[in-house]
Structure 1
């Protein structure tokens, strides 16, 4: 459970997410998964479950970003109907992965900014060859541009609601509309 000594406890996000969406969207955030997964309700009366990896704060923020972007129809499909190729993707698969990850990672960065959590780009792929170093500069630039675009255009209703809840819970009163994103801010 949440402790002031450890502000970035993922269970804290579960409580915030439930306060925002358990009643209105019948959706709960759950930790402890070996892999992230969105599980729509199967039985009437049970909630949809948004699973994040283990107890990782960043994984929870990332899965919430995916959920906020997914439309109503996608939220009725397991894992929003997305494909997933595991680590060890070839260059074409990695490029496809990065194209679909721009939006979720940009929104995750907004959520991280709202609560003061350090954001890191995730390419979610180990190099195929020992010692191989992949250049993800274009991906980083695309995530920065998309984060700036989302802030300028509005985050979307669910994302804005969650962002506001994060700001209140973590004591961030900087208007999200003033946030700027740059590749130099990324490790």
Structure 2
């Protein structure tokens, strides 16, 4: 396969992901997954747009899964605020800021791992700090894995479990129950 074929296949899978999310979640949550041209952002409904938007970066499938993970964790009040009311510390973080970043990213990235498995896609943690302090990628990967196994053992958040099942049906990977069962065995 050449790069053009890969790009077309990726774009089709992104369209499929957007459609699957729309069908499963828009009626209840008035939320759409939107392909963005720049950095990801969550935008609540307002006077200009009647629905909430999960905007993922540059049309990348992995970015969509990551932003969906943040949405699955955010509570109702947070989902009424731009970017869930969080301040994002951009690339170039010092060691302390990077540790804080990793601390709050463990749960979303554990969900992203589950979503990736449901989509039959490879998962890699993202330390997202190319121009700052060198992160301890191995330790962060272990923390994400521990949280993933915790979710498998104790249960995924409700919207995350629903999304895992939708993704598994759509892309042929393992649903939430299968992922949990595999970890117990």
- Compute the TM-score of the two structures, normalised by the length of structure 2: 0.87
Q: Count residues in correspondence.
A: 174
Deviation, 1:13, is 1.2
Q: Which runs of 5+ in 1 are unaligned?
A: 181-187
Match of 2:9 among 2, 6, 11: 6
CA separation of 1:44 and 1:127: change in aligned 2, threshold 3 A? closer
Distance in 2, matches of 1:173 and 1:158, equals: 16
- Cα RMSD of the aligned pairs, angstroms, is 2.0
Distance 1:109 1:77 in 2: 25
The equivalent of 2:47 in structure 1 is 43
Q: Post-superposition, which runs of at least 4 consecutive aligned residues in structure 1 deviate over 3 A?
A: none
**Which deviations, in whole Å up to 9, do the C-alpha atoms of 1:64-92 show, x marking residues without a partner?**
00000000010011000111111111111
Instruction: Name the counterpart of 1:157.
Output: 158
1:36-79 deviation digits (Å, cap 9, x = unpaired): 10000013971100000011000000000000000001001100
CA deviation after TM superposition for structure 1 residue 35, in Å? 0.4
Paired residue for 1:64, among 61, 64, 68? 68
- Range with greater deviation from structure 2 (142-151 or 8-17): 8-17
CA change 1:173–1:9 in 2 (3 A) is closer
Q: Given that residues 127 and 134 in structure 1 are in contact (C-alpha distance below 8 angstroms), is that contact kept between their aligned partners in structure 2?
A: no
Q: Equivalents in 2 of 1:144, 1:176: separation in Å?
A: 13
Question: Does residue 177 of the first structure (1) align with residue 180 of the second (2)?
Answer: yes
Structure 2 partner of 1:166? 167
Q: Which residue of 2 aligns with 1:80?
A: 84
2: CA distance between counterparts of 1:133 and 1:39? 31
Choose between structure 1 and 2: higher helix proportion.
2
Following TM superposition, by how much is the alpha carbon of 1:107 offset from its aligned partner in structure 2, in angstroms? 0.2
Deviation string, structure 1 residues 137-171 (Cα, Å, up to 9, x no partner): 22111100000001111112111111101111112
Instruction: Tell me how far apart the structure 2 counterparts of residues 152 and 97 of structure 1 sit (CA, whole Å).
Output: 25
Q: 1:102 maps to which residue?
A: 106
Structure 1 contact 27–49 (Cα < 8 Å) conserved: yes
